[in-house]
Amino acid sequence: MKEVKEATPNGGALAGLRVVELATVLAGPLCGQTLADHGATVIKVEPPAGDQTRISIHNVDGQPAYFSGVNRNKACIALDLSSPRGKEVLLRLLETADVLLENFLPGTLEKWGLGYHAVLSLRFPRLIHCSISGFGADGPLGGRPGYDAMAQAYCGLMSVNGSKEAGGTRHGIPIADIASGLNAIIGILLALNERTRSGRGQHIDVSLFDTGLALQHPYAAIWFGSGVAPGPVGNGHPDVAPYNKFAAKNGDIFIGAPKDIQFRRLVQFFGHPELGDDPRFSTTHARVANKEALEQLLAPLIAQYDFEVLSDALMRAQVAAAPVYSIPQAFQAAHTAHRQMHVRVGNYQGIGNPIKLSRSKATIRSVPRGFAEDARAILSELGYNQSEIDAMFSDGSVPAPGAIAG
């Protein structure tokens, strides 16, 4: 693991961008952290009870692991937005903000008198308001609560994941949440670009439902073209072979040789070049039609090798292959260190930023903060004096640092 020392701001691609994040759990905080890694000033505003992920059974050095994973580089404050004082503080924050990022149940901000179209867009015409929700605000499912698993279920993602024997299975990675966070980043950057021409902000509507459907490639395209509903595909692929997980001597390996030339290299490597001319396997269509027979021939050849040695050897022979690693193995790999994807600042460990810019590099400027840790500093910057701040701490409209409501 390559150690990353406490970074000094290099400007970053988004330096000068101010984001107020009202989001909790995953999609919104992931969006906010990515913007912050690239230089944006992100102020995370939590409810009095704190971000839901601050309560976690998995803790590292007293910091909840789930919260820590998507909340670095942010300043933290908490507000009771149902109170007049809490709402007033938020409005002061928005006076200098470019982006408001939230994932409340649709209608929540309107209930507090903070709806975008009726209030915020009129008061802050340059503000970009990004909402992330389960199903959006309208339509048959509009306004309903939604989590990642619900999106996976509704959008057919579970139906194509898993094996034919076990049936559809939830993706272990919260893929709809993560992809929604990435879509939110795209939406914000699109709106910022448009604002340079119009001078106006706009509302961005990102839903886990839309994202889940958008992830359905190639399976939706297969259904559009054939009318046949795809089922669970296991570790294989419906259109190419060999493209599957195999058991090696001491671990599993994934091998992908979908092109004819790659397949010929594969069987040449194993000392059976004649399989490249076998009519059952000489073309992509033939290999897919005879996938089971092909995998039965390859399995004993693969089983003789160490999984890491074989993977490296095949890659050197220009055949795509990879050892099937555990999470610890993946983050301890030499290439992970080289790509700076396992980072450390003091006791903090995190996933590196995957977006590499040649000049404006992502940085880690601060580790995840404690609950409302920056409240006093943020309020002072907004112009409140110490007696006003103490009064807000006292009445709970702005919870004091560390004072999560029970």
H-run or E-run covering 77: strand 74-78
* pLDDT number for residue 4: 39
Here the tokens at position 36 are 């912050």
Is 129 annotated in the active site?
no
In order along the chain (406 residues), what is the average pLDDT of each group of 10 residues? Answer: 42 96 97 98 97 84 87 98 97 98 96 97 98 96 93 95 89 96 98 98 98 96 94 89 96 96 97 96 95 97 97 97 96 96 94 95 95 98 97 97 84
- Residue burial 250-287, b: 16+ Cβ < 10 Å; e: rest: ebebbbbbbeeebbbbbbebbeeeebbebeebeeeebb
* pLDDT number for residue 10: 62
CA–CA dist 14, 37 (Å, integer) = 9
* pLDDT number for residue 36: 98
* pLDDT number for residue 323: 97
* pLDDT number for residue 406: 65
Q: Can you list the domains of the chain with their CATH numbers?
A: 18-216+353-395 (3.40.50.10540), 243-331 (3.30.1540.10)
Whether the CB-CB separation of 299 and 356 falls below 8 Å is answered with: no
φ, ψ of residue 240 in degrees (nearest 5): -140, 155
* pLDDT number for residue 5: 42
With vertex at residue 295, the alpha carbon angle to CA 290 and CA 300, rounded to the nearest 5 degrees, is 145
CA–CA dist 95, 79 (Å, integer) = 16
CA–CA dist 252, 305 (Å, integer) = 10
* pLDDT number for residue 233: 86
Of the candidates 217, 237, 272, 335, the residue annotated as catalytic is 237
CA–CA dist 69, 364 (Å, integer) = 13
Q: Give Cα separations from 217 to 160, 222, 232 (angstroms).
A: 11, 8, 14
CA 247 from centre of chain: 30
CA–CA dist 360, 358 (Å, integer) = 6
Determine if the peptide bond prior to 218 is cis (ω within 30°).
yes
* pLDDT number for residue 61: 67
Here the tokens at position 227 are 């009318």
Closest CA to 211 of 137, 155, 267: 155
Tell the residue number behind the tokens 């879509």, with chain if given: 183
Which string of DSSP letters, residue by residue, matches 292-309?
A: HHHHHHHHHHHTTS-HHH
With vertex at residue 163, the alpha carbon angle to CA 158 and CA 164, rounded to the nearest 5 degrees, is 105
